[in-house]
Amino acid sequence: MSSSAHDLRRRLRGEDQPGYVRLPGFAAPETGRRMLDDVIALARQAAAGRDVTPSLVTLEMQAGFGGTNPEDRVSKIFRLHRRPAFLDFLGWPRVVELVGAALGGDVDCFLSQFIFKNPGAWGQPWHQDSYYFPFQPRRPIIGLWLAITEATLENGCLHVLPGSQVEPVHTHVRDRRPDANHGYVEIVDHDMGASVPCLLDPGDLLVFDSHLMHRSTDNTSSGMRAAMVWHFATAGSIDPGSRDAQGRWRPSPVNDWMPYLRGGKTVL
Ligand SMILES: O=C(O)CCC(=O)C(=O)O
């Protein structure tokens, strides 16, 4: 393993390490704008009753939430990583190198989501992504969070708890706010007092371990705070799916396992 790969893994998963890495200016802002244009078109197609599968559009759940355009009501759009605007990013040599350094040469991309975070939208409470990923093996799993717009305290940037990647997956309780967004859960048994906000510019990238505790706050500004997130795990991971309302295991509605790296090379 190269020393830079060793260093990245240490920063993501090591004791007394932050559990995340911030890469300013990783992408040009235009890269994010192309992604935004693509998901706006998808949101409008879905609102017009067109079939947008395999993508999945979820709406903000707050009563009366809305705006002028269909995308103004959207919370997240999942299953995007096979679409050209998002697949192209995965083919970038810098992304290949980064993901390979973090996870090794045999990797799948299993989840992607564009988060609109429109004005007034809920933030996502404190959680660990591995709560949503009950795979075998449990780790390593990483997320890449690309800022599409600026992320500020007012528009609901991410907050992370440095060092919390060494914690096991904690109990998560359902988000207790009225009209909470589907799937939002919360860690309530850990002190988050040492958390730090991640103030990012468009094109900045945050790489983080799936045990890192993080949240985002509500968007109290008048503009959208958009981000694109991809998640990666070791190829051959076993995904039991997720539990439905009756507690039965079903294939996850949002995961889409796509081979990404084999022997360190892309297989897109
Ligand atoms: O960007 C956000 O608002 C929340 C994203 C997040 O928590 C995640 O990707 O796990």
Alpha helices (H) in the chain, listed in sequence order? 3-13, 29-47, 84-90, 93-103
**Can you tell me which atom of ligand 1 is nearest the CA of 117?**
3
Angle at 226 between CA 49 and CA 232, to 5 degrees: 90
State which of 122, 142, 158 you would mutate to test the pocket of ligand 1, scoring each by most atoms of that ligand within 8 A of its C-beta.
158
Only one residue has tokens 């780790």, namely 139
Give the pLDDT of the chain (268 residues) as one tens digit per residue.
789 999 999 999 999 999 999 999 999 999 999 999 999 999 999 999 999 999 999 999 888 888 899 999 999 999 999 999 999 999 999 999 999 999 999 999 999 999 999 999 999 999 999 999 999 999 999 999 999 999 999 999 999 999 999 999 999 999 988 888 888 999 999 999 999 999 999 999 999 999 999 999 999 999 999 999 999 999 999 999 988 888 899 999 999 999 999 999 999 9
Alpha carbon nearest to ligand 1 atom 9, residue: 229
Q: Is the peptide bond before 178 cis (omega within 30 degrees of 0)?
A: no
149 CB less than 6 Å from ligand 1? no
Structure tokens at 142: 């990483």
207 CB less than 6 Å from ligand 1? no
216 CB less than 6 Å from ligand 1? yes
State which of 76, 78, 115, 160 you would mutate to test the pocket of ligand 1, scoring each by most atoms of that ligand within 8 A of its C-beta.
115
Spatial separation of the C-alpha atoms in residues 61 and 97, rounded to whole Å? 38
> Domain extents for the chain?
3-235
State which of 216, 224, 232 you would mutate to test the pocket of ligand 1, scoring each by most atoms of that ligand within 8 A of its C-beta.
216
Question: pTM above the 0.85 mark?
Answer: yes
148 CB less than 6 Å from ligand 1? no
Neighbours of 248 (CB within 10 A): 9
Q: Going by C-beta distance under 8 Å and a sequence separation of 6 or more, which residues neighbour residue 42?
A: 52, 55, 57, 77
Class of domain 3-235: mainly beta
Alpha helices (H) in 76-135, listed in sequence order? 84-90, 93-103
